Amino acid sequence: MSIQRPYVRSMDGWWKRNAYYVRYMAREVTALFVAAYALVLLVGVVRLSQGEAAFNGWLQALKTPLSLAFHLVVLATFVYHTWSWFNIMPITMPMMFIGGKRVQPGTITRAGLAAAVVACAAVFVIVRGISS
């Protein structure tokens, strides 16, 4: 009598098996950088509440080369997040109809990306307006 052992296929590195999964993983991993950036801002708000010296310490930390490198990586992942967010939007949102015709996936993606460009430009203009 032989001892039977069921064959269990390893799931290690499953996401590398197919380009679709790699894109899925790249998109989901951006969340780590979104969390890290939210944490940087949270620390800033907490330091702000602790007074001028504490807040200036936070500002000084932002001026270090390490912080610059970190933020450039975060910036790249945010741009990728924006691109991928609107790329999957035709799947994640309910079907949209205009004049009885289904809005094409490419149209939804392009409209979303255009909205992001406008929103980012608006933030730039508002922040410059407030600060000068």
Residues 52-91, one symbol each (x = binds other proteins by CB under 8 A, - = not), give x--xx--x--xx---xx-xxx-xx--xx-xx--xx-----
Length of the chain: 132
Binding flag, residue 29, other proteins (CB under 8 A): yes
Q: Does 22 bind other proteins (CB under 8 A)?
A: no
Contact between 114 and other proteins per CB under 8 A: no
34 contributes a contact to other proteins by CB under 8 A:
yes
Question: What is each CA distance from 95 to 82, 89, 92, 105, 110, in whole angstroms?
Answer: 20, 10, 9, 9, 16
Read off the amino acid at residue 17: R
In the numeric block, which tokens belong to residue 54? 């504490």
Residue reference for tokens 């999964």 = 21
DSSP summary character for residue 99 = T
Amino acid occupying residue 54: A
Q: Nearer Cβ to other proteins, position 18 or 56?
A: 56
Task: Write the DSSP symbol of residue 98.
Answer: E
Q: Which residue ranges make up the site for other proteins (CB under 8 A)?
A: 11, 15, 25, 28-32, 34-35, 37-42, 44-46, 48-49, 52, 55-56, 59, 62-63, 67-68, 70-72, 74-75, 78-79, 81-82, 85-86, 92, 112, 115-116, 119-121, 123-124, 127-128, 130-132
